[in-house]
Structures are given as structure tokens and as C-alpha cells.
Amino acid sequence: MQNKTDHRQSASAQPMQKMRWQFVRGRGAISRLISWYDGIYSHVDWITPNGMLRGARSDMVYTPTCKEGIHPGYRDRPMDYDIKDWSLRTIFTLNVTSEQAQVYKDFSDAQLGKPYDSRGITGFVFDKRNWHEPDSWFCSEEVQANLEAAGISPPMYEDSNRVDPGDLAFILCALGANYQDLPCR
């Protein structure tokens, strides 16, 4: 039987890699409402290993490289897809084991194309719903589900009806993440 000290030593011997997430506060009405309730941020995306932003959005996104638009839901988007609409941008970085990073990516890949959880917005105030149901996602809830699936974060209290971007920033800081504010255009 391995004791806690042995477990930490074996975990630290595993290859580590950095995972990054981008938190933003948008300028739109819904974004302002979320950040008012949340306290600071209105959206979060995982920065994939190939530099794309992966997250759940409720709106169609148009970019210079994708003029036909990127549909709502859990999708990959270019790094600067909505930068003109951001008033705050922070990158959080967390060291995880290579195994955790792979499980995170695999779980995230399995969610691609799922719809945005529009009930996630009302869940901030009114709804009692189980955000763990993987049929649709709100941005921060999907990231937390990834963190739990990969064993990076312990499971949240089951009766929680939501995980907002501010909650997630707090969770990442508690896990030891570093963060850096970046300029917005």
C-alpha cells in the first residue's frame, strides 16, 4: 500500500505539461449580465495544443478566416475570433501530467459539436438543473467537466446548479494556476 508521500513523489516524476485557458469579459448585453453576476468574467475557452480556442458559445462567430461563420455550440474558434468585443482578457496556465492533459483533450474532443446550454444562462439565477448532463454545455461548465474527467479537479458538490467563469477562475487558482492579464484591442 502506497502512502501519500509516495503518491506525490510518483506524481511529480510523471511528465508535466502546461494547459491554458482564456477568460474574457465581453462588451455585449449578455456578457455584461454574466460578468455582473459572476463578478468579473463572462466567457472561458480552453486553448488547445494547436492554438485554437475551444468553448461553448451561444452566438454565431464570424472571423476574417471563416467568413461563413462558426455556428453556436461547443466548437474550435481562431485565437482572436472576438477580440474587438472583449474588455478584459486573462490567460490561466496550469501544469498537469501528460496523462491528465490527454484525458482532458479526449473528453473535450468527445464534446465537440454539442449545442450551447441556453439554460446555463438562466441557471445563474432561476434554474435547478444538473450541469453534469453532457447533452449541451455552458462554457465554464464544460471546462469544469473536463477538469473533473481528467482528475485535475475533484468533483464539485453535486447540488451545484451552475459553474460560472468566476467560479472556474477561483478553482484554477486553488489548483495552483498562474494567470496573466493581456491587452484587448
Three-class secondary structure assignment of the chain: CCCHHHHHHHHHCCCEEEEEEEEEEECCHHHHHHHHHHCCCCEEEEECCCCCEEEEECCCEEECCEEEEECCEEEEECCCCCHHHEEEEEEEEEEEEHHHHHHHHHHHHHHCCCCECCHHHHCCCCCCCCCCCCCCECHHHHHHHHHHHCCCCCCCCCCCCCCCHHHHHHHHHHCCCEEEEECCC
pLDDT of residue 133: 75
What mean pLDDT, rounded, does the chain reach? 83
pLDDT of residue 127: 60
pLDDT of residue 6: 35
Looking at 3.30.70, 1.25.40, 3.40.50, 3.90.1720, the CATH number of the domain 15-182 comes to 3.90.1720
pLDDT of residue 152: 97
Mean pLDDT of 125-152: 83
What amino acid is encoded at 3 in this protein?
N
Cell of 89: 482578457
Mean pLDDT of 153-167: 78
pLDDT of residue 47: 97
Q: Note the pTM of the prediction, 2 decimals.
A: 0.85
The larger pLDDT score, comparing residue 156 to residue 100, is at: 100
